[in-house]
C-alpha cells in the first residue's frame, strides 16, 4: 500500500511539474550602432558584439551598422532597433522623435572615470596655426552634420569666439568618420579638422583620440577645444521590454570584469567601461539643439542584488 501511495504521489508530482507553464523564450534583439571609427573598425566591432551580447543576454542579438547618425537615431526612435550605442546628439534627436527613448549607460574613456570627452580642432603637428582666428580662409574637414564632436560643438565654439562658422573657412567637406578627418588633415586635403579627445587625466595634455585609427596622434596638434561633453550612451527604444532593462544595464556595467569583456570594450567600443547615465547628462546637447521642450529620459540606477541572508 505504501509503495502504491508513493507511486501515485510521484505520478501526480510529475504531472504537476509538467503542467507548470514554462517561461517564454526571450525574444531576439537588434542592436544598432554607427561607424565613428570607419567601416573596417565597425565590421570588427560587429563581429565581437553579436556573440558577446547573445551569450550575456540569453537571446540572439543581431548588430546592425548604420552609415549615418541620423539613420541610427531614426531607427532607435521607431523601434527598428531595440537598443543602440549612440552619440549624445543622435540620442537627444531620437528623444525629440519619441519621448520614451531612454539612456541606460554612458561610456568611460579610461579606467579611472572619464565619463566625458572634448571636441577639438586639429592641425598638422608642424603647422604654424596656433588658434582658430588663424584658420580664416583655410579648408576644414568635418565628420558629419549630426556628429557632436566632429561638427556641432566645434561650430558652436567658433561662434563663442565671435567667428562665423559659415564664412570663416574657404571650403568645408564631410569626411564621414573621425579617421577620415585626420587623414584629410595629414595629406593636406584639409588644413584643419574637428574630432574628439578623451578627457585628459590631471596634468596631461589633450591628445587627438579620434586620430588613433589614422596613425599616431602625435602627427597632429590640438589648437582649440570645447569644455567637457558627455560620451556615447547605450539607449533603448520606446518598446524595449521593461523587464530586461536592468539586465542590459548590468551586462554593460560588468563588461570590464572579464578578459572577453575588456577585449570588446577596447576593440569594439574603444572605451574602458560603462557607467550609469543620470539626469542632466544631456543638458548641453539639448541646449545646443535648442530642444527646450525635450527632456532626455534616463533609466533609474539598477537595484543592487540582495545581500546574503536577506530576502
> Do 237 and 100 fall within a single domain?
yes
Residues 23-61: pLDDT tens digits? 567 899 999 999 988 889 999 999 999 999 999 999 999
- Domain finish residue from 206, 229, 252: 229
* Per-residue pLDDT at 240 exceeds 80: yes
Residue 15 lies in a domain: no
> Do 203 and 244 fall within a single domain?
no
- Span 253-271, mean pLDDT? 94
- Span 198-205, mean pLDDT? 74
> Do 105 and 122 fall within a single domain?
no
Tally Cβ neighbours within 10 Å of residue 188.
9
* Per-residue pLDDT at 170 exceeds 70: yes
* Residue 111 banded pLDDT, cuts 50, 70, 90: very low
* Per-residue pLDDT at 16 exceeds 60: no
How far is CA 60 from each of CA 23, 161, 168, rounded to the nearest angstrom?
17, 49, 49
pLDDT score for 278: 83
Residue 305 lies in a domain: no
* Residue 5 banded pLDDT, cuts 50, 70, 90: very low
Residue 293 lies in a domain: yes
Residue 1 lies in a domain: no
- Residue, of 46 and 146, whose pLDDT is higher: 46
> Do 124 and 81 fall within a single domain?
no
pLDDT score for 155: 94
- Span 299-309, mean pLDDT? 58
> Do 202 and 262 fall within a single domain?
no
- Span 209-213, mean pLDDT? 87
- Span 187-213, mean pLDDT? 86
What is the C-alpha to C-alpha distance for residues 283 and 286, in angstroms, rounded to an integer?
5
* Residue 148 banded pLDDT, cuts 50, 70, 90: confident
Percent of the chain residues past pLDDT 90, beyond the cut: 56
pLDDT score for 4: 41
> Do 73 and 164 fall within a single domain?
no
Residue 64 lies in a domain: yes
- Span 286-303, mean pLDDT? 70
CB 234 within 8 A of CB 104: yes
Residue 4 lies in a domain: no
> Do 131 and 275 fall within a single domain?
no
> Do 134 and 201 fall within a single domain?
yes
- Span 279-302, mean pLDDT? 74
Domain count, the chain: 2
The whole domain housing 75 covers 29-113+231-298
- Domain finish residue from 190, 207, 229: 229
Q: Which of 9-23, 33-47, 151-165 has the lowest mean pLDDT?
A: 9-23
pLDDT score for 52: 98
> Do 247 and 286 fall within a single domain?
yes
3-state secondary structure the chain: CHHHHHHHHHHHHHHHHHHCCCCCCCCCEEEEECCCCCHHHHHHHHHHHHHHHHHHHCCCEEEEECCCHHHHHHHHHCCCCCEEEECHHHHHHHHHHCCCCEEEEEEECECCECCEEEEEEEEECCCCCCCCHHHCCCEEEECCCCCHHHHHHHHHHHHHCCCCCCCCCCEEEECCCHHHHHHHHHHCCCCEEEEEEECCCCCCCCCCHHHCECECHHHEEEEEECCCEECCEEEECCCCCHHHHHHHHHHHHCHHHCHHHHHHHHHHHCCCEEEECCCCCCHHHHHHCCCCCCCCEECCCCCCCCCCCCC
* Residue 1 banded pLDDT, cuts 50, 70, 90: very low
Instruction: Check which CATH number belongs to the domain holding 268 and give it.
Output: 3.40.190.10
> Do 149 and 185 fall within a single domain?
yes
- Span 86-106, mean pLDDT? 91
Q: State the chain's mean pLDDT as an integer.
A: 85
pLDDT score for 9: 43
Amino acid at each position: 500500500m505504501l509503495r502504491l501511495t508513493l507511486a501515485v504521489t510521484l505520478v501526480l508530482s510529475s504531472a504537476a511539474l509538467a503542467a507548470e507553464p514554462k517561461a517564454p523564450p526571450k525574444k531576439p534583439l537588434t542592436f544598432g550602432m554607427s561607424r565613428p571609427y570607419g567601416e573596417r573598425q565597425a565590421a570588427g566591432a560587429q563581429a565581437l558584439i553579436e556573440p558577446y551580447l547573445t551569450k550575456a543576454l540569453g537571446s540572439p542579438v543581431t548588430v546592425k551598422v548604420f552609415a549615418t547618425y541620423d539613420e541610427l537615431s531614426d531607427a532607435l526612435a521607431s523601434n527598428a532597433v531595440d537598443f543602440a550605442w549612440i552619440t549624445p546628439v543622435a540620442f537627444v534627436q531620437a528623444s525629440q522623435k519619441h519621448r520614451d527613448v531612454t539612456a541606460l549607460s554612458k561610456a568611460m574613456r579610461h579606467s579611472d572615470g572619464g565619463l566625458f570627452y572634448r571636441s577639438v580642432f586639429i592641425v598638422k603637428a608642424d603647422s604654424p596655426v596656433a588658434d582658430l582666428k588663424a584658420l580664416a580662409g583655410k579648408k576644414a574637414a568635418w565628420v558629419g552634420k549630426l556628429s557632436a564632436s566632429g561638427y556641432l560643438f566645434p561650430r558652436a565654439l567658433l561662434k563663442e569666439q565671435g567667428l562665423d562658422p559659415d564664412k570663416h573657412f574657404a571650403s568645408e567637406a564631410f569626411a564621414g568618420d573621425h579617421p577620415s578627418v585626420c587623414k584629410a588633415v595629414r595629406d593636406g586635403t584639409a588644413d584643419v579638422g574637428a574630432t574628439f579627445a578623451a578627457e585628459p587625466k590631471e596634468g596631461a595634455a589633450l591628445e587627438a583620440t579620434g586620430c588613433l585609427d589614422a596613425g599616431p596622434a602625435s602627427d597632429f596638434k590640438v589648437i582649440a577645444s570645447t569644455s567637457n561633453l558627455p560620451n556615447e550612451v547605450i539607449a533603448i527604444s520606446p518598446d524595449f521590454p521593461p523587464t530586461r532593462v536592468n539586465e542590459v544595464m548590468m551586462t554593460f556595467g560588468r563588461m570590464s570584469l572579464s578578459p572577453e569583456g575588456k577585449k570588446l570594450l577596447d576593440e569594439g567600443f574603444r572605451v574602458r567601461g560603462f557607467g550609469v547615465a543620470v539626469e542632466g547628462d544631456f543638458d548641453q546637447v539639448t541646449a545646443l539643439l535648442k530642444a527646450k521642450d525635450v527632456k532626455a529620459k534616463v533609466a533609474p540606477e539598477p537595484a543592487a542584488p540582495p545581500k546574503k541572508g536577506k530576502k
